[in-house]
Amino acid sequence: MTTATLQAEPQPVARVARTYLNERTTIASWLLTTDHKRIALLYMVSITLFFLIGGAAATLMRLELLTPQGDLVASDTYNKLFTIHGVVMVWFFLIPSIPTVLGNFLLPMMIGARDVAFPKINLASWYLFMGGGAFAVFSILSGGVDTGWTFYTPYSSTYANGHVIAMATGIFIAGFGSIATGLNFIVTTHKMRAPGMTWMKLPLFVWSLYTTSIILVLATPVLAITLALMALERAFGVGIFNPSLGGDPLLFQHLFWFYSHPAVYIMILPGMGVVSELITCFARKKIFGYQFVAAASVAIAVLGFLVWGHHMFVSSQSIYAGMIFSVLSFMVAIPSAIKVFNWTATLYKGSISFHTPMLYALGFIGLFTIGGLTGLFLASLAVDVHVHDTYFVIAHFHYIMVGGMVMAYLGALHFWWPKITGRMYPEWLAKLAALSIFAGFNLTFFPQFILGYLGMPRRYHVYAPEFQVLNVLSTAGASILALGYFLPLGYLLWSWKYGKIAGPNPWRATGLEWTTPSPPPKDNFDTTPIVTEGPYEYDPRATEAELRAAHA
Amino acid sequence: MPEIALAPVEHQFENAEQQREAATMGMWVFLATEALFFGGMFLGYTAYRTYYPEAFAEASRHTLVAFGSINTAVLLISSTVMAFAVRAARMNRRGLLSILLLVTASLGTAFLVIKGFEYAREISEGLLPGPKFHIETSDPVHAEMFFYLYWLMTGVHALHVTIGVALIGFFALRAWLFDAFRDHDTPIDLLGLYWHFVDVVWVFLFPLIYLAGRHS
Amino acid sequence: MRTFFNSLFPPQASNLAPKVDAIYFALLGLCGFVALLVCLAILFFCVRYRRGSGADRTPPKWRQRPFELAWTITPFFIFLGLFFWAAEVFFGMSRPPRNATEIYIVGKQWMWKIQHPDGRREINELHIPIGQPVKLIMTSEDVIHDFFIPGFRNKQDVVPGRYTTEWFTPTKAGSYHLFCAQYCGTNHSRMVGNIYVMEPAEHAKWLAGQPAPDSLIAAGERAFRNRGCSGCHAPNAAIRAPLLDGIYGKQVPLSDSSLVTADDQYLRNSILLPNKQIAAGYEPIMPTFQGQIDEQELNAIIAYLKSLWEGDVR
Amino acid sequence: MNEMHPTPRTYIINCVALLALLGLTIAAAYLNLGPFNTVVAMLISLAKGGLIALFFMHLRYSKPLIWIFAGAGVFWLGIMLVLALGDYLTRGWR
Ligand code: HEA
Ligand code: HEA
Ligand code: CUA
Ligand SMILES: [Cu+2]
């Protein structure tokens, strides 16, 4: 293993280099920074906090579900827990995760720019995010909300108790933060590329951020207006969605899913981008079918807008609409398939090493495939009638969102950690964490597929006793998972101070971001780079030859 | 709205050309999001109108078509003036620019005042949905739905007009006092785009609200 | 072994269950195969081409495009096939047979109220005989609920303000879970019940043991009188209003010169929102009964109106 | 961008055209065209919106990229309306 590592010699640091971290150190210099790298770190800290809130809610939920009776918390509390969990995990953790942390940090560097196009708007987006977060936390602390993350009317607008309006306001505001980020990324990708950085030379991570941003910009405003209408209905009895005032509750669902289905691709595309980077780097091979992988991102972003009705197969929408949405849902799976197959093909004849980021990437492919394939079950009309709103759906999306996206996020953090901090994380501890997360994850969520087909509905605080065994397994897995998540939290912090010095390019990866010192200086590049090569000029044979030479 | 660059070229850009193109593009992207923001309400309107065409037609007859038409004209003319203002900025004619901006803002204000009179009349006639809502039609439930949508859509639009008027006034002042846009007309360009967009939204609102049931 | 299997797989107790399960198993097979293929390929490459393995790494000669096309087009056709199969079954699920027993379901926070055609009522329990198709006509008094019977593989949202339907033919005697599958507030998870599927003879015995019901139609007829409907709609009424005999299932001409079929939804709207659709040739004078008649009484009235139906068009 | 710019004449003509279309749409609304009233009204609105975008918003003189983003908003709005109405209009079908 030691011989297999290809880390460059740590560079002796003669004098303290000027980096974006030590350039200025006052608190104000952080809170008022317009440097994309610092904003990325602000986001990193914030979403970690939100992940802990969402994770704490999940922990309590899993504990409650150990027994079929509701003995740990009351029904209302349980309902608030899954609402908090869903809202926080989706809008305050997973949607911002890779785009705002790694996207902010890397996008300008990857295309050879000094910053994003609108640095002040970038900072503003963080404040919007935190403002929205403040509303959400307020509504949690002052009693919570019990509508589920989907806020279906007329329950949310008329019958629910709790601070629905505060929560909706929080999401509304945070949504504008998302829009600002998306707008920034789109313009940055279009206008800030270094000379020679053509579209066909863009790293696939940039492609994925770009397509994600398109969704952010075109879908989020619909969520904003939908939640605003719901809040108005709740506050003033405006009857848009209220059947007793002549409204149609399904209109809310149409509007909500018009946003929320594309939003699931906001949650997976950046992960796919990360995996494309990791697979190539650790297999030392050019990606197989670059153009197809890039085009698949675009296809997912566009087709993703055409399938929202698959969440409404049994909602009493027209059966003909159901059929259209079903066939389109199958079609949106094709670009995902293209990606999976191309990643697999990339491994062929590579020179593969298994550092922690690669473990996460491989985990992503496996778990995303399972999650995606079960999405096909859900897209099949007759089967969805049975499994809709059961734990089958819960398992489906956790496989993609936790097994896929959270893995990709952790993989990306480990991969770019040396760039962000200038330090290496401890490899063995990190591998241990990756493996326990993988094992814990499967133990938590695999049983839920079975539970779902058995018919256990979701959002159930008490359940039929015959479901208990599988639930106990799931809770056991969740404990392992929780421990697995705490490890990186600890050792990454530790390594910031005590980790090995990493040097500019510990992975010997291609990509402009690796041509800068670690951590990078404030303006990233001394001179604007000129790009002549494609993004993945790796050569597995050269790597092998070097390795043999080192041995001899 | 994309920020207004004070320094000619900010550090992240290579040159002024890149900076201007980035800002213009940012504005267009922003307008696309605005279109979908309004789009949610348009969908609600379309869905209910296809379901309850009679109720919507009858309710629509309770709106004041004269006021609506005048207001449309006011906005169209203000857009024209705005277009001239953008041109004045490009030609570095500070005085003309501030005057044209002021005219645009006044037309915007006129729009709001007229809309305000309309609102006042509708409230007094019981056309504000709520406990006091009252309308002489055969399907009051869905006539009320029309008025929910009416207040929402015109309300959100009026909010946009208000923001526009405030910004235009502020820019007029800056042009007049500091000659802030000499050789630097991008902000005025963007402001113009925003104002024209608000106009386009109204162009669609007008027939949906005022003209839905005029022929019968 | 059997019990172990039963703890992993729900009972198949309706005509729909085998059809849905067939698709499910086909998907399991297909997706399991694809997942296995992908994972095995990854595993194989990871071992064979691990760094320093000495395997041959000369770049292969073949071109990429054929591969890309193959793995774009193959899933496309597989997916189309899956879609048609599942849609076909789904379509069948949404078309109840004509001879189905019609049972009215009203969901409310947090219980199921069930009215049989003969007027018997049950709460959170439904007793039905084997082999007889059942059509549920469902609505809600407050928020959206969902009538879910895992053993039957069927579920349908129950939406306030309108009727939704769901049907099945029970095929196996026993007791099956009924769950509310749409989140509806505090006691969502307690909005559960049981479906008892009985042999016809046993069902008859059970029926005999029940107190004699006031039939739904009789209740409806009473309500029709008490609520004053007959004051306008009786043949001898002073006010001119349409006669309702035989209305169900007919094409009714409306004042805007369109035609509608007088189905459950239409009757419901005529009573709650009478001015939404005006029968051609009448004044819109019928008062609305929204907020005065509750869902169960409404169901009774509609059942009564349906019983006035003569003729054979359905 | 600077070479080709609308002249004051263009703006004035555009303004007059817009006001004329406004008159037309009002007049059309008082004719009974059956279901076509809405169609005509929307077509005229599209024309007006198009004129504003093309000339006042300088779309006509802009790069293709700007066209794409202007089109994207409209296109996605279309997706929303068409697919959602696909549900609303077929709900009664059996
Ligand atoms: C990141 C998040 C994410 C992603 C990427 C997806 C991706 C997909 N989802 Fe999922 N989904 C959710 C998150 C996500 N989903 C959430 C959160 C919910 C529940 C919301 C709620 O109600 O709270 C949900 C619910 C949901 C439903 C509604 C279920 C219900 O409530 O009844 C449906 C139905 O069609 C569905 C389908 C799909 C499909 C077809 C895909 C496809 O994009 C998947 C494509 C990928 C693959 C198919 C795998 C790789 C392909 C191959 C290896 C190809 C080869 C295969 C063959 C040839 C067979 N999802
Ligand atoms: C988007 C991302 C996301 C993520 C990352 C997760 C992560 C997890 N989720 Fe999920 N989940 C959703 C999104 C997500 N979830 C959504 C959208 C819903 C639907 C909500 C709804 O129905 O409205 C849902 C619903 C949901 C349910 C179904 C609830 C129900 O319907 O009744 C369950 C049940 O097991 C569950 C479990 C978990 C678990 C065990 C994790 C684990 O991966 C979490 C692991 C993390 C930790 C463990 C953090 C570590 C921190 C601590 C342990 C702090 C401990 C401190 C104290 C307790 C003081 N989630
Ligand atoms: Cu009723 Cu859930
Ligand atoms: Cu979806």
CA distance C121 to chain B (A): 33
> How much distance in Å is there from the Cα of A143 to the middle of ligand 2?
19
Average pLDDT over residues B152-177: 94
8 Å CB contact of A154 and C179:
no
Smallest Cα–Cα separation from A321: which of A334, A309, A337, A335? A309
The pLDDT tens digits for A49-102 are 999 999 999 999 999 999 998 888 999 999 999 999 999 999 999 999 999 999
Interatomic CA distance for residues B200 and B78, integer angstroms: 12
Phi, psi of B133 (to 5 degrees): -60, 135
Smallest Cα–Cα separation from C149: which of C125, C130, C129, C132? C125
Average pLDDT over residues A152-181: 93
Smallest Cα–Cα separation from A408: which of A217, A122, A204? A204
Interatomic CA distance for residues A275 and A358, integer angstroms: 8
8 Å CB contact of A229 and B22:
no
Average pLDDT over residues B152-173: 95
Total count of domains within chain B: 1
Q: Which residues have C-beta within 8 Å of that of residue A185, sequence separation ≥ 6? A: A99, A103, A107, A116, A209, A210, A212, A213
Q: Residue C178's pLDDT is what? A: 95
Helix-strand-coil percent breakdown of chain C, rounded to 5? Answer: 40, 20, 40
Q: How confident is the model at residue A264 (pLDDT cuts 50, 70, 90)?
A: very high
Q: Report DSSP state, residue C198.
A: E
Which of the pair, C64 or C166, is modelled with greater confidence?
Answer: C166
Asked if D68 is an interface residue toward chain B (Cβ–Cβ < 8 A), one would say no
Q: Residue A358's pLDDT is what? A: 96
The pLDDT tens digits for A21-39 are 888 888 888 999 999 999 9
8 Å CB contact of A114 and B12:
yes
Q: Residue C1's pLDDT is what? A: 53
Smallest Cα–Cα separation from A506: which of A336, A291, A355? A355
Q: How confident is the model at residue A5 (pLDDT cuts 50, 70, 90)?
A: very low
Q: Do A234 and A158 contact (CB within 8 A), yes or no?
A: yes
Asked if D33 is an interface residue toward chain B (Cβ–Cβ < 8 A), one would say yes
Cβ(A62) – ligand 2 distance below 6 Å: yes
Cβ(C180) – ligand 3 distance below 6 Å: yes
Local structure of A431: helix, strand or coil: helix
Q: Residue C311's pLDDT is what? A: 41
8 Å CB contact of B41 and A225:
yes
- Average model confidence (pLDDT) across chain A: 92
Cβ(A459) – ligand 2 distance below 6 Å: yes
- Average model confidence (pLDDT) across chain C: 86
Asked if D37 is an interface residue toward chain B (Cβ–Cβ < 8 A), one would say yes
Cβ(A80) – ligand 2 distance below 6 Å: no
Whether residue C312 is predicted with pLDDT greater than 70 in this model: the reply is no
8 Å CB contact of A218 and D73:
yes
Q: Which residues have C-beta within 8 Å of that of residue A212, sequence separation ≥ 6? A: A99, A103, A182, A185, A265, A266, A269, A270, A301
Bridge partners of residue A439, in order along the sequence: none
Residues of C in contact with A365 (CB under 8 A): 38, 42
Which of the pair, D1 or A312, is modelled with greater confidence?
Answer: A312
The dihedral over CA atoms of D63, D69, D73, D75, expressed in degrees to the nearest 10, equals 80
Average pLDDT over residues C54-82: 88
Domain that holds residue B167: 16-211
The owner of tokens 């992940």 is A51
8 Å CB contact of D91 and A317:
yes
Ligand 2 closest atom vs CA A60: 58
The pLDDT tens digits for A117-157 are 999 999 999 999 999 999 999 999 998 899 999 999 899 99
For chain A, percent of residues with pLDDT exceeding 70 = 97
- For ligand 3, atom 1, which residue shows the shortest CA distance? C145
Whether residue B164 is predicted with pLDDT greater than 90 in this model: the reply is yes
Instruction: Give DSSP secondary structure letters for chain C.
Output: -HHHHHTTS----BSHHHHHHHHHHHHHHHHHHHHHHHHHHHHHHHHHTBTT-----PPP-S-SHHHHHHHHHHHHHHHHHHHHHHHHHHHHHT---TTPEEEEEEEETTEEEEE-TTS-EEESEEEEETT--EEEEEEESSS-EEEEEGGGTEEEEE-BTS-EEEEE-B-S-EEEEEEE-S--STTGGG--EEEEEE-HHHHHHHHHHSPPP--HHHHHHHHHHHTTHHHHHSTT-SS-----TT-TTPEEEBTTS-EEE--HHHHHHHHHSTTTSPBTTS-S-PPP-TTTS-HHHHHHHHHHHHHT--SS--
Average pLDDT over residues A456-485: 94
Of B25, B37, B40, the CB nearest to A190: B25
Whether residue A246 is predicted with pLDDT greater than 90 in this model: the reply is no
Note the pTM of the prediction, 2 decimals. 0.90
8 Å CB contact of A376 and C186:
no
8 Å CB contact of A453 and C10:
yes
For chain D, the domains span: 1-61, 63-94
**Helical packing angle, D36-51 and B186-210, nearest 10°:** 170
Which of the pair, C248 or A148, is modelled with greater confidence?
Answer: A148
Interatomic CA distance for residues A538 and A282, integer angstroms: 10
Whether residue A211 is predicted with pLDDT greater than 60 in this model: the reply is yes
Q: Residue C288's pLDDT is what? A: 81
Q: Which residues of A430-452 are buried (b: 16+ CB within 10 A; e: fewer)?
A: beebbebbbebbbbbbbbbbbbb
Give the residue on C whose Cα is nearest the Cα of A247: C161
The pLDDT tens digits for D67-92 are 999 999 999 999 999 999 999 999 87
ipTM of model: 0.90
- Whether B193 is covered by a domain: the verdict is yes
Q: Which residues have C-beta within 8 Å of that of residue A196, sequence separation ≥ 6? A: A530, A531, A532
Tokens of B41: 């309400």
Asked if A222 is an interface residue toward chain D (Cβ–Cβ < 8 A), one would say yes
Residues of D in contact with B31 (CB under 8 A): 70, 73
> How much distance in Å is there from the Cα of A83 to the middle of ligand 2?
10
Q: Kindly report the length of chain D.
A: 94
Whether residue A1 is predicted with pLDDT greater than 70 in this model: the reply is no
Q: Residue B212's pLDDT is what? A: 87
Ligand 3 closest atom vs CA C189: 2
For chain C, the domains span: 1-47+96-211, 216-307
Which one is the CATH code of C1-47+96-211: 1.10.3720.10, 2.60.40.420, 3.40.50.970, 3.80.10.10? 2.60.40.420
Residues of B in contact with A116 (CB under 8 A): 12
Tokens of B159: 């909010």
> How much distance in Å is there from the Cα of C149 to the middle of ligand 3?
13
Ligand nearest to the CA of C181: 3
Topology annotation, domain A13-551: Cytochrome C Oxidase; Chain A (1.20.210)
Q: Residue B214's pLDDT is what? A: 83
Residues of C in contact with B142 (CB under 8 A): 276
User: Which residues have any ligand 1 atom within 6 Å of their CB?
Assistant: A 150, 264-265, 267-268, 310-311, 329, 332-333, 336-337, 340, 369, 372-373, 375-376, 378-379, 384, 388-389, 393, 396-397, 400-401, 405; C 30-31, 34, 38, 75, 78
Q: Residue C212's pLDDT is what? A: 66
Q: How confident is the model at residue A16 (pLDDT cuts 50, 70, 90)?
A: low
8 Å CB contact of A305 and D88:
no
Tokens of B161: 């007009």
The dihedral over CA atoms of B48, B52, B55, B59, expressed in degrees to the nearest 10, equals 20
Which residues of chain C from 175 to 194 reach within 8 Å of chain A, CB to CB? 177, 179-190, 192
Residues of A in contact with D89 (CB under 8 A): 318
Query: Residue A7: how many CB atoms within 10 A of its CB?
Result: 15
Average pLDDT over residues A276-297: 94
Whether residue C247 is predicted with pLDDT greater than 90 in this model: the reply is no
The continuous run of DSSP H or E covering C103 comes out as: strand C101-108
CA torsion through residues C226, C232, C235, C238, sign: positive
Please, which chains are in contact with B (at least 3 CB pairs closer than 8 A)?
Answer: A, C, D
Whether residue C165 is predicted with pLDDT greater than 70 in this model: the reply is yes
Q: How confident is the model at residue D2 (pLDDT cuts 50, 70, 90)?
A: very low
Asked if A309 is an interface residue toward chain D (Cβ–Cβ < 8 A), one would say yes
The residue among A210, A254, A315 with the most chain D CBs within 10 A of its CB, best to mutate, is A254
Q: How confident is the model at residue A256 (pLDDT cuts 50, 70, 90)?
A: very high
The continuous run of DSSP H or E covering D13 comes out as: helix D8-30
8 Å CB contact of B138 and C256:
no
Please, which chains are in contact with D (at least 3 CB pairs closer than 8 A)?
Answer: A, B
> How much distance in Å is there from the Cα of A246 to the middle of ligand 4?
28
Pairing assessment for the beta strands C125-129 and C145-149 based on DSSP bridges: unpaired
Residues of C in contact with B141 (CB under 8 A): 273, 276
Q: Residue B7's pLDDT is what? A: 47
Local structure of C148: helix, strand or coil: strand
For chain A, percent of residues with pLDDT exceeding 90 = 82
Cβ(A478) – ligand 2 distance below 6 Å: yes
Residues of A in contact with B145 (CB under 8 A): 239-240, 245-247
- For ligand 2, atom 50, which residue shows the shortest CA distance? A55
Tokens of C241: 């209003």
Domain with B34 in it: what CATH number? Answer: 1.20.120.80
Of A183, A221, A229, the CB nearest to B26: A183
> How much distance in Å is there from the Cα of A397 to the middle of ligand 4?
9
Interatomic CA distance for residues C300 and C218, integer angstroms: 8
8 Å CB contact of B54 and C256:
yes
The residue among D69, D74, D89 with the most chain B CBs within 10 A of its CB, best to mutate, is D69
Cβ(A52) – ligand 2 distance below 6 Å: yes
Whether residue C232 is predicted with pLDDT greater than 90 in this model: the reply is no
The dihedral over CA atoms of C83, C84, C89, C91, expressed in degrees to the nearest 10, equals 100
Residues of A in contact with C56 (CB under 8 A): 349
CATH number, domain C216-307:
1.10.760.10
C-side interface with B, Cβ within 8 Å?
A: 256, 273, 275-276, 278, 284
Whether residue C119 is predicted with pLDDT greater than 80 in this model: the reply is no
Residues of A in contact with C160 (CB under 8 A): 154, 243-244, 249
Tokens of A405: 């996206």
